Structure 1
Amino acid sequence: MLLDGEDWQRVLHGFSQSAFRLETLPAYKVPGEAEDFEEFLNGSRIDPSTYTSGWTDRLRAHTAAGRTVQRVHIVTRPLSDYLRYEFMYYEPHAMAGEDIRILDLTDRPNPGLPDQDFWAFDDSTVVLMNYAPDGTPLNRVLVEGGIDQYREWQRIAVAESVSFADYVKEHGWQ
């Protein structure tokens, strides 16, 4: 089943315990980011200590309610311009309560993870995030049944990754 509009928003924000995101692409063409991304390429940076957005507000609300939001982003070095841009936002997102982790496959084999982005909610609902090769969003598909493999991929991704803060400490990102 395709998820769009209000149906997608209900799933994305209606979880009761946990949300997990696996990101696999070096770049995403997110609607509405083009101008900010261009400004980033021209040297503009946000101040993570004062930055706020609808997403950071939701992260704070989820955390205050005892819910967890976690993501693992699979990367290889050198980081793409888009990943450097996205990493700039990871800092305030982490400060707002999101557990952001990085799995760098530059010097190691993939531990068996797919090249498919997905969200997993409350250990019971999985949504595939489908993109064109250039990172343009295509659609979101609710997985109906058979989510044990996604639970295993989540477990592997978390176990094999490091915290965003530790990754930046070791490798930097700018």
Structure 2
Amino acid sequence: MNFEEFDAYFDRFTQDVFRLENLQHYAISAEDERVRAFREGTARPERSVRTEPWLARIAATAVAGKNWERVHVVDHPLSEYLRYELVGYVESQAAGEQIGIADRAADASLSTLGEDFWLFDSESPDAYAVLMHYDEAGHFVGFDHTVDPGVLDRCREQRDIVRRHSVGLNTYLAARKADVVPE
């Protein structure tokens, strides 16, 4: 699978898409400028439905009645990257994505999760998943599309686990403000 094929999955889904994120750091070169601005406390480049095709896509699918959701399983103290990413989640949420945060320490089941994935149209006969592969440093190394029933069941099970142990982004930010934005 190449990036164009991966990207097309976000135009194909008809009901819902769910993203599970387990890493505490993703090494994404396209984010370097924004991470640097976050670290230095300077203005970050605008990221909105007007400037970011990804956010415009989320907004368009939400308007079409499709559900776009992600849960990130986090460890405390938060890494610098996660504190940066939480700010970006606010922007994604404004575009229509439902964001949940699960504290890995909340339940032992959160320590047994597998790799990151996207799960599309999860309850339909046409369900499919894209498994995301990263190296130890958080660099993306590849992805695999699957319709294997066993893998889809595992993705649904992990989705349900993290949903049970997550709180909405606003609730998390309100409760953990000092962890997110140290004073």
Q: Please, what TM-score do these two structures have when normalized by structure 2?
A: 0.86
Contact kept? 2:109, 2:161, Cα under 8 Å: no
4, 7, 13: which one aligns with 1:6: 4
Distance 1:112 1:134 in 2: 19
Distance 1:110 1:21 in 2: 18
Tell me the residue number matched to 1:29: 27
Structure 1's unaligned 5+ residue stretches are: none
Contact kept? 1:51, 1:92, Cα under 8 Å: yes
**Aligned-pair CA distance for 1:33:** 1.1
SS in 2 for 1:119: strand
134, 158, 162: which one aligns with 1:131: 134
Contact kept? 2:103, 2:165, Cα under 8 Å: no
Distance 2:80 2:109 in 1: 22
**Aligned-pair CA distance for 1:143:** 2.0
Distance 2:101 2:67 in 1: 17
Tell me the residue number matched to 2:41: 43
Identify the range of structure 1 (92-101 vs 109-118) with the bigger mean alpha-carbon deviation: 109-118
Tell me the residue number matched to 1:18: 16
Distance 2:73 2:129 in 1: 18
Distance 1:90 1:47 in 2: 15
1:131-154 Cα distance to aligned partner (Å, 9 max, x none): 001100000111241211111111
Is the alpha carbon distance of 1:139 and 1:116 closer, same or farther for their aligned partners in structure 2, counting shifts above 3 Å? same
Tell me the residue number matched to 1:152: 157
The number of residue pairs the alignment matches comes to: 171
Measured on the aligned residues, the alpha-carbon RMSD in Å equals 1.9
Contact kept? 1:18, 1:122, Cα under 8 Å: yes
SS in 2 for 1:106: helix
Distance 2:169 2:162 in 1: 13
SS in 2 for 1:33: helix
Distance 1:88 1:45 in 2: 12
Structure 2's unaligned 5+ residue stretches are: none
Is the alpha carbon distance of 1:13 and 1:30 closer, same or farther for their aligned partners in structure 2, counting shifts above 3 Å? farther
Is the alpha carbon distance of 1:5 and 1:51 closer, same or farther for their aligned partners in structure 2, counting shifts above 3 Å? closer
Identify the range of structure 1 (141-150 vs 96-105) with the bigger mean alpha-carbon deviation: 141-150
Identify the range of structure 1 (136-145 vs 107-116) with the bigger mean alpha-carbon deviation: 107-116
The one-letter code sitting in structure 2 at the alignment partner of 1:79 is: L
The one-letter code sitting in structure 1 at the alignment partner of 2:56 is: D
Distance 2:146 2:24 in 1: 24
Tell me the residue number matched to 2:173: 168
Distance 1:46 1:31 in 2: 15
Distance 2:155 2:106 in 1: 25
Alignment of 1:54-93 (within 5 A): 54-93=53-92
Structure with larger RCO (C-alpha < 8 A, sep 6+): 1
